[in-house]
């Protein structure tokens, strides 16, 4: 079970990488100051300090010196706060769309998959093992839940809409202009036997993988050995096999292992990091061709890849535009230029825009002033009532 900690640590560091900020963790008392109000939600200084502490601790556990980790975070104070505001907007949008239960279901499924991967009988056993390794299950659950919420909102409000937006004529026109991009790619189908290291002697697992390869090359039935020996596959995501996939979709180690293998052949044992051993059997292979052909899903995907970044920026800009966002005066100079970077870029790019305000620290002033004006209508409360 020693590998569970490194897996969760890696996941946490990846998740936290985009949210770096400065905080004085040496303070004996944290003043719970409101750094930003986002509609009905608030981002407090204590919340930022907790985020920072978690990030620094994770970086230290990953081998970085604490002072270096803190310095790196100190340099990105505004970036973290801006990202936390955007995250709050996505969380609120998820509630509006009723996606909370879907996020919870996605997180539960991830825990179940982890439980099965390590051969545990129930979630409680997994939680106990995580705690032994110094990993807080609740913290991991909350981290995964936030990520699931953001993913679900973006999938529904941006990706799905953008993917299905092009009409039949647009698809055909795009295909005709880019025929060279739509040749038939090489595809491969393969089945997987995965032997996990968890709870086992790693050398014994490596030896077992070699024996399985020898048996298969000697004529043994793959399906039988798979049923008798395999844990849920890591390459095939628990499915045991995949069909007509592009080799380029997988890691270099997998691509190299299956390269040149003919249908019916099996790979040498593949060590999947510190997780376990993989053996793949090539079920089918189709060669690439230079002949162009129209594949609607491929054309939609190509258009989507081109348009998705701009679509996401526009969506986030729309969320900000239609929300009440008030950033504390002392934080505004470092947060606003990052939070409203895309909006400012659009303004400066527009012709005849000389009269528009382009000063970096003013983009959210209109929102604040709007709140002040609205306060008069709301009984003189001093701020616009959140939506």
Domain CATH for 28: 1.10.4030.10
Spatial separation of the C-alpha atoms in residues 22 and 30, rounded to whole Å: 14
Residue tagged 């907790």 (tokens): 50
* 3 state SS for the chain: CHHHHHHHHHHHHHHHCCCCCCCCCCCCCCCCCEEEEECCEEEEHHHHHHHHHHHHHHHHHCCCCHHHHHHHHHCCHHHHHHHHHHHHHHHHHHHHHCCHHHHHHHHHHHHHHHHHHCCCCCHHHHHHHHHHCCCCHHHHHHHHHHHHHHHHHHHHHHHHHHHHCCCHHHHHHHHHHCHHHCECCCEEEEEEEEEECCCCCHHHHHHHHHHHHHHHHCCCCHHHHHHHHCECCCCCCCCCEEEEECHHHCCHHHHHHHCCCCCCCECCCEEECCCEEEEEEEEEEECCCCCECCCHHHHHHHHHHHHHHHHHHHHHHHHHHCCCEEECCCCHHHHHHHHCHHHHHHHHHCCCCCCCCCCHHHCCHHHHHHHHHHHHHCCCCCCCCCC
Specify the pLDDT at position 353: 40
Which of the four pLDDT bands, split at 50, 70 and 90, describes residue 347? Answer: low
For residues 116 and 4, membership in a common domain is answered with yes
Of the two residues 18 and 38, the one the predictor is more confident about is: 38
Cα–Cα distance list, 127 to 121, 124, 135, 146, 338 (Å): 11, 5, 9, 19, 38
Q: Beta 34-38 vs 276-286: how paired, if at all?
A: unpaired
The whole-angstrom distance between residue 317's C-alpha and the CA centroid of its chain comes to: 20
For residues 125 and 177, membership in a common domain is answered with yes
To the question of pTM greater than 0.85 for the whole model, the response is no
What average pLDDT score do residues 296-300 get? 94
For residues 332 and 352, membership in a common domain is answered with yes
**Range with the poorest average pLDDT among 110-114, 243-247, 279-283:** 110-114
Total structural domains within the chain: 2
Of the two residues 72 and 267, the one the predictor is more confident about is: 267
**Range with the poorest average pLDDT among 133-137, 251-255, 316-320:** 133-137
Spatial separation of the C-alpha atoms in residues 297 and 300, rounded to whole Å: 5
Specify the pLDDT at position 345: 76
What average pLDDT score do residues 116-120 get? 75
Of the two residues 59 and 223, the one the predictor is more confident about is: 223
What average pLDDT score do residues 266-288 get? 93
For residues 19 and 138, membership in a common domain is answered with yes
Side-chain-side CA neighbours of residue 229 (13 Å): 24
b/e burial code for range 307-339 (CB count within 10 A of at least 16 → b): beeebbbebbeebbeebbbbbeeebbebbbbbb
Tens-place pLDDT, residues 79-109: 999 999 999 999 999 999 999 899 999 999 9
For residues 278 and 360, membership in a common domain is answered with no
Spatial separation of the C-alpha atoms in residues 194 and 118, rounded to whole Å: 12
For residues 147 and 8, membership in a common domain is answered with yes
Which of the four pLDDT bands, split at 50, 70 and 90, describes residue 173? Answer: very high
Specify the pLDDT at position 348: 58
Tens-place pLDDT, residues 7-22: 444 444 334 333 333 3
Whether 333 shows a pLDDT value over 50: the answer reads yes
Whether 26 shows a pLDDT value over 90: the answer reads no
Whether 381 shows a pLDDT value over 70: the answer reads no
Domain boundary among 236, 266, 286: 286
For residues 373 and 342, membership in a common domain is answered with yes
Q: Residues near 338 by Cβ (< 8 Å), separated by ≥ 6?
A: 78, 79, 82
Spatial separation of the C-alpha atoms in residues 237 and 89, rounded to whole Å: 31
Which of the four pLDDT bands, split at 50, 70 and 90, describes residue 313? Answer: very high
Q: 338: domain range?
A: 1-184+292-387
Which of the four pLDDT bands, split at 50, 70 and 90, describes residue 321? Answer: very high
For residues 202 and 139, membership in a common domain is answered with no
Specify the pLDDT at position 169: 97
Domain boundary among 254, 286, 318: 286
Domain boundary among 223, 252, 286: 286
Which of the four pLDDT bands, split at 50, 70 and 90, describes residue 31? Answer: low
Beta bridge partners of 196: 276
Top mean pLDDT of 38-42, 58-62, 251-255 is at 38-42
Is residue 182 classed exposed, middle or buried when 0-12, 13-18 and 19+ CB atoms within 10 A define those classes? middle
Give the other-Cβ count within 10 Å of 20's Cβ.
Answer: 22
For residues 148 and 204, membership in a common domain is answered with no
CATH code, 239: 3.10.50.40
For residues 300 and 319, membership in a common domain is answered with yes
What average pLDDT score do residues 241-254 get? 91
Specify the pLDDT at position 243: 93
Which of the four pLDDT bands, split at 50, 70 and 90, describes residue 374? Answer: very low
Specify the pLDDT at position 349: 52
For residues 220 and 272, membership in a common domain is answered with yes
Specify the pLDDT at position 5: 42
For residues 304 and 168, membership in a common domain is answered with yes
């Amino acid at each position: 079970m020693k590998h569970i900690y490194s897996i969760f640590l890696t996941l946490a560091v990846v998740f936290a990488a985009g949210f770096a900020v400065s905080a004085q963790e040496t303070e004996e008392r944290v003043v719970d100051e409101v750094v930003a109000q986002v509609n009905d939600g608030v981002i407090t200084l204590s919340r930022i300090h907790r985020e920072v502490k978690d990030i620094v601790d994770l970086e230290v556990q990953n081998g970085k010196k604490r002072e270096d980790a803190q310095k790196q975070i100190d340099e990105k104070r505004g970036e973290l706060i801006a990202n936390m505001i955007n995250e709050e907007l996505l969380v609120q949008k998820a509630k509006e769309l009723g996606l909370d239960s879907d996020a919870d279901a996605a997180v539960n499924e991830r825990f179940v998959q982890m439980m099965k991967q390590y051969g545990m009988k129930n979630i409680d056993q997994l939680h106990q093992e995580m705690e032994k390794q110094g990993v807080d299950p609740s913290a991991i659950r909350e981290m995964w839940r936030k990520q699931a919420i953001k993913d679900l909102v973006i999938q529904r409000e941006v990706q799905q809409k953008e993917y299905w937006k092009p009409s039949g004529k647009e698809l055909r026109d795009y295909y005709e202009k880019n025929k060279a991009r739509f040749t038939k790619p090489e595809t491969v189908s393969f089945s997987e036997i995965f032997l996990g290291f968890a709870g086992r002697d790693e050398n014994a697992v490596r030896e077992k993988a070699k024996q399985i390869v020898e048996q298969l090359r000697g004529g043994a039935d793959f399906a039988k050995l798979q049923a008798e020996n395999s844990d849920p596959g890591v390459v095939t995501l628990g499915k045991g096999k995949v069909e007509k996939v592009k080799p380029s979709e997988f890691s270099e180690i997998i691509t190299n292992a299956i390269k040149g293998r003919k249908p019916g052949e099996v790979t040498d044992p593949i060590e999947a990091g510190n997780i376990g051993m993989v053996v793949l059997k090539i079920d089918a292979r189709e060669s690439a061709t230079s002949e162009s052909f129209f594949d609607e899903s491929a054309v939609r995907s190509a258009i989507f890849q081109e348009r998705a970044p701009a679509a996401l920026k526009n969506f986030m800009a729309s969320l900000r535009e239609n929300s009440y966002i008030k950033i504390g005066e002392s934080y505004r100079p470092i947060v606003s230029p990052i939070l409203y970077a895309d909006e400012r870029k659009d303004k400066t790019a527009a012709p005849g825009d000389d009269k528009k305000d382009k000063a970096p620290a003013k983009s959210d002033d209109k929102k604040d002033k709007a709140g002040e004006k609205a306060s008069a209508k709301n009984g003189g409360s001093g701020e616009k009532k959140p939506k």
